[in-house]
């Protein structure tokens, strides 16, 4: 047997190590057709705004590859190894699954490294990503969930996709005095106290006459584009949903709220909101879309139907009656026959609907979550929670997803539980309980 010198062996080993390192930096590529033939999954490593359908530049390609998952590289720092594994399991990915990434090089590399650390050995690049516009998928109304850079460009007078047709306003919404707004807010933003749109005793929306006065005070007509954001997304969503009910045609929310703007390191302002010139009239009857709200009797009529869903957007402990979720709501339980639409860990969180950065989770994920509880896009769907905030957030997401017949049951658990004759359920139960 021919002997190999130690020096030669060392050289060979070094060469192999260099080759391995090079191969690791240059992952194998697959086309979408090849990936699908292996029953693999495409993973979009870009921000959710681009995944949802916003183009990189006005008039550019928009959307994501068919059935692609979204795993934005910047989320990784907020995701534990356990969360990465949970994300993979939720999407039925195994260590042997073929995965193909697309996005920019740095994001692809970061996601590839994290997935390989989690045990995924077949991570490639998608070689023909975003090259066939006709096959790309997007959120039906992605324009209703704006992102920070879009607002910034709009404020600078630069061309943007889905630009407002006429006048537009950016407004922060929060409960009470503008204490956080005073310290830092989006430049030029107005401020709406949620007490202007809802009131005690049940925290339902205010009267139509008061809504009319509110619109006038803030200089809003039916044809004004209103872009709302909040420190909590559901505060902005609550105001947005009520404005749509009133008849404002174009209402949008900043996906991810104030955190998204702050994370983007865009300019901020301090101080009080500027004086607003009142609108002389709304220009249309109020309410313009009364069907966006249902009352208690209408909500009762939606129970146990195949063509309708009354959907609880409350935490599981609230749904099964372990807690009411609120210090000022004493009764525990749930509307008997309601379907659970998920929410979060408690009455102040909405993790089930959020990506790690607080933006809206993918439409496919949300629709799959709802389908388990027989909540379907072709139904008449009314969301409710305790007093309307969480329900309004899911309403805005369903609307962006293109669901045609959605509403909010404004009274929610607070109103329902205040009438002892209303049927109530408690305890563990599954989707079949609502049929």
Residues that are catalytic: 385
CA distance 52 to 411: 32
* C-alpha dist (Å) from residue 184 to 196, 234, 235, 351, 405: 22, 19, 17, 25, 37
Whether 376 contacts 334, CB under 8 Å: no
3-state secondary structure of 152: helix
CA distance 221 to 257: 24
3-state secondary structure of 204: strand
Q: How many of the other CB atoms lie within 10 Å of CB of 1?
A: 3
Q: Retrieve residue 380's tokens.
A: 């008449």
Whether 93 contacts 41, CB under 8 Å: yes
130-164 in b/e burial notation, b at 16+ Cβ within 10 A?
A: beeeeebbbbbbbbbbbbbbbbbebbeeeebbbeb
Quote the crossing angle between the two packed helices 389-400 and 363-371, to the nearest 10°: 110
Q: What sign does the dihedral 181-182-187-189 (CA atoms) show?
A: positive
Q: How many of the other CB atoms lie within 10 Å of CB of 46?
A: 21
Element (H, E) at 363: helix 363-371
Whether 236 contacts 243, CB under 8 Å: no
Residue carrying structure tokens 């607003």? 276
Whether 268 contacts 185, CB under 8 Å: yes
Whether 416 contacts 337, CB under 8 Å: no
Element (H, E) at 191: strand 190-193
From the number of C-beta atoms within 10 Å of its C-beta (0-12, 13-18, 19+), residue 256 rates as buried
CA distance 258 to 229: 6
């Amino acid at each position: 047997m021919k002997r190999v010198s130690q020096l030669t062996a060392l050289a060979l080993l070094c060469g192999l190590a260099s080759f391995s390192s090079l191969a690791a930096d240059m992952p194998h590529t697959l086309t979408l057709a090849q990936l699908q033939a292996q029953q693999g999954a495409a993973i979009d490593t870009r921000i959710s705004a681009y995944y949802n359908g916003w183009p990189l530049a006005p008039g550019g390609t928009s959307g994501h590859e068919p059935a692609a998952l979204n795993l934005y590289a910047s989320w990784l720092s907020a995701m534990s190894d356990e969360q990465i594994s949970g994300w993979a399991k939720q999407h039925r990915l195994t260590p042997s699954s073929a995965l193909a990434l697309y996005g920019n090089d740095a994001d692809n590399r970061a996601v590839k490294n994290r997935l390989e650390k989690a045990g995924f050995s077949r991570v490639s690049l998608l070689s023909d990503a975003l090259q066939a516009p006709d096959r790309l998928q997007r959120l039906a109304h992605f324009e209703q969930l704006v992102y920070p850079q879009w607002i910034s460009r709009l404020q600078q007078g630069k061309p943007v996709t889905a630009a407002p047709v006429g006048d537009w306003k950016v407004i922060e919404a929060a409960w009470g005095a503008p204490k956080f707004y005073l310290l830092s807010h989006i430049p030029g933003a107005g401020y709406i106290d949620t007490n202007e749109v809802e009131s005690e005793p049940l925290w339902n929306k205010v009267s139509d006459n008061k809504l009319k006065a509110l619109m006038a005070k803030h200089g809003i007509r039916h044809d004004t584009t209103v872009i709302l954001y909040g420190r909590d997304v559901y505060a902005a969503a609550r105001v947005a949903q009520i404005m749509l009910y009133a008849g404002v045609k174009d209402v949008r929310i900043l996906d991810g709220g104030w955190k998204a703007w702050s994370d983007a390191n865009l300019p901020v302002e301090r101080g009080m909101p500027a004086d607003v010139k009142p609108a002389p009239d709304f220009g249309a009857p109020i309410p313009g879309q009364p069907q966006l709200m249902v009352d208690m009797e209408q909500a009762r009529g939606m129970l146990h139907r195949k063509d309708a869903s009354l959907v609880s957007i409350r935490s599981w402990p609230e749904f099964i009656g372990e807690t009411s979720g609120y210090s000022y709501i004493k009764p525990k339980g749930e509307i008997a026959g309601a379907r659970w639409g998920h929410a979060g860990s408690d009455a102040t969180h909405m993790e089930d609907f959020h990506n790690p950065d607080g933006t809206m989770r993918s439409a496919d994920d949300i629709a799959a979550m709802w389908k388990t509880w027989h909540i379907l896009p072709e139904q008449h769907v009314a969301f409710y929670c305790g007093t309307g905030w969480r329900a309004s957030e899911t309403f805005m997401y369903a609307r962006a997803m293109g669901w045609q017949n959605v509403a909010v049951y404004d009274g929610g658990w607070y109103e329902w539980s205040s009438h002892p004759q209303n049927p109530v359920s408690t305890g563990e139960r599954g989707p079949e309980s609502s049929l």
